[in-house]
Amino acid sequence: MISKELEALAGYRSSHFLVMARLRANFPRAVAAIVAVSLLSGCARNQLGIENAGMVQRATSAAATGAEAFLDRVDQVREETTIALVVADPACGQIAPEVRTQPDLRSDAPDLGALCVKTPRPDSARRLSTAALTPELEPTLRLAQALGAYGATLANAVEDREEEDPAAPLLDALTLAKAAQTTLAGAGSGPVPAQNDPRVKAAADLVNFVGGLIKEASTVKRLRAAIAEQPDIVPAIVDPLERQIQGWERARRGDAGLRLVAAGFVSSRVIERTPPASGADRRAALTSFYATRDALAAEARFAPAVLQALHAVRETDADLRRLLSPGGRLTKSERRRVARLNRERLVAAFTRVAALATAIRGA
């Protein structure tokens, strides 16, 4: 009878082939290229293998850098759109403009009130968010990056990799988790008070968890025992991060539709002006509209990519924890293969986040 460990290994193989097939079928070429470079850079030790925690750390670091560049560019376009709204209609000059879902597009309509309305708003208007995205999302990205570093440590522990310092990726994870904790502690100015943000507890739990692992990282055996003592800690940390991203995405969709309506209004007022606007003004109006449209389309890729990275962390934790207990019938080479497949999963997921930097024109 096949042992449970070998059944699990067979499952890993099937899962690996499925993941790589989906990667080839669905990822943009830019993502596939980055993944290929990430995989091949480890050839000095093992062809096509992701054999150390450094590969995962480089992927998570690239994800953080790419996401930061992406969000900075999106925020820049959002600011430009808001400025254009106020210029087009003085009624939009509020902290949170109330934008008509169906603006008055008549050429003879007055500028004041054609796009925005003063409160109390009618049913035909909705509030447009002018808040920057980066401050809201940065803590989630840092915590996701820290979880990725933990996943690399877990993979090393599973294959008894004594030759590498098990504390190295954990120190990075602790630094990132503390940075997120600090950011969240000063984030009480938004619609959700900091003390009510579930990410505050998630960050504290991750800091305590990783800090405890560092104390036990003198040997792989002690590290594995420390990880096994808290079987539910990673899902408890990932859950609020996923809920935050999902809630943000719901709000973003509504805001994106309203923002596209507003951008179209601003552009049409210039294009259809009588007498005609100058060629330079018409060009600028269309360029601004397309930049807003592209930014909104790129925004839609953010939540799925981050959720996929968090899902990869959750699955890696669940898969590798099964192999933490001593004994078992998997050989050392089989344990190494399981660890490598899970590293590949993490690298692929975080590389997709990194590719967001190329998802918006001008980034």
* Confidence at 109, pLDDT banded by 50, 70, 90: low
Say which residue the tokens 């309203």 belong to: 258
Do residues 94 and 116 lie in contact, with contact meaning Cβ atoms separated by under 8 Å?
yes
Say which residue the tokens 């070429």 belong to: 29
pTM for the full model? 0.79
- In SS3 terms, 190-201 reads as CCCCHHHCHHHH
pLDDT of residue 179: 92
pLDDT of residue 361: 53
The pLDDT tens digits of the residues spanning 185-215 come to 875 444 444 567 899 999 999 999 999 999 9
Say which residue the tokens 């933990």 belong to: 150
**Cis, bond preceding 275 (omega within 30 deg of 0):** yes
Say which residue the tokens 């208007």 belong to: 125
Cα dihedral sign, 300-306-309-310: negative
Overall average pLDDT of the 299-320 stretch: 94
pLDDT of residue 317: 96
CA 25 to chain centre: 21
The answer on pLDDT for 326 being more than 90 is no
* Confidence at 92, pLDDT banded by 50, 70, 90: confident
The whole-angstrom separation of Cα 318 and Cα 363 is 36
Beta-bridged to residue 127, according to DSSP, are 98
* Confidence at 148, pLDDT banded by 50, 70, 90: very high
Longest dimension (CA), the chain: 85
Residue 286 in tokens: 């269309």
